Amino acid sequence: MARPVLAFDVYGTLFDTRGVIAALAAYAGQDAGALAQLWRDKQLEYSFRKGLMGAYQDFTQCTRQALDYVCTRAGLALDDEQRSNLLAAYDHLPAFDDAEPALEQLETDGFAIYAFSNGPARAVWSLLQSSQLAPYFLDVISVDEIRSFKPDPEVYRHFLRRANCHGSGTWLVSANPFDVIGALAAGWQAAWVQRDSAAIFDPWDMEPSATLRNLTELRALFG
């Protein structure tokens, strides 16, 4: 049996978006953790809204605007250099500890591995290269190429065209329930990486094809 094509989400799945907390703490102190989560929530909200409105701006702009919201909400009066320093933290997020061993196992087993992201390809490649994960990926397929965002069905169709594969033979690997549901609705298989044991999968009458505690469980899933 042919091995499935694997499409790895990037932010929150391979890379820990909480990695911005240390940078935020320099300005927000003990509130940094809560503000980092608000930043992430607004980043995603803005991408959803822009997608629905047909008013595309890339994920970098969503991230910048979400930071502006956070600063206003928290009363942080940051200058341009300080804001740039915080945005740079998103360009240097740490990879989760399970990312490299899982990818190494899957590459050894002969899987075709792609990064599939809301982020622009240049930003994703930069993250992959800085964390030494780039060699495991055949390519980065970004929503930026069609100017929309997950979970727009067209985004998942675009991936299939670019990777020259079929939905039934493609697995999304993502820690984001909205992404998993989008892939399932598009006819893919999808593994939800439940990085937080308290996380709840959205009750939309759909279940992930598999639920994993971490990425290293993928090998057993396909074994």
- Given a contact cutoff of 8 angstroms between Cβ atoms, the answer to whether 195 and 173 are in contact is no
Starting at the edge strand found earlier in the chain, the sheet holding 5-8 runs 139-142, 112-117, 5-8, 170-174, 189-193, 210-212
The CB-based long-range contact list for 214-218 (8 Å cut-off, 24+ gap) reads 214/96, 214/98, 214/102, 215/13, 215/14, 215/96, 215/98, 215/99, 215/101, 215/102, 215/103, 215/173, 216/98, 216/101, 216/102, 216/105, 218/6, 218/102, 218/105, 218/106, 218/173, 218/191
Point out the catalytic residue in the list 9, 58, 98, 144: 9
The alpha carbon of 70 is separated from its chain's Cα centroid by a whole number of angstroms, namely: 20
The alpha carbon of 41 is separated from its chain's Cα centroid by a whole number of angstroms, namely: 13
16 given a catalytic annotation: no
Active site residues: 9
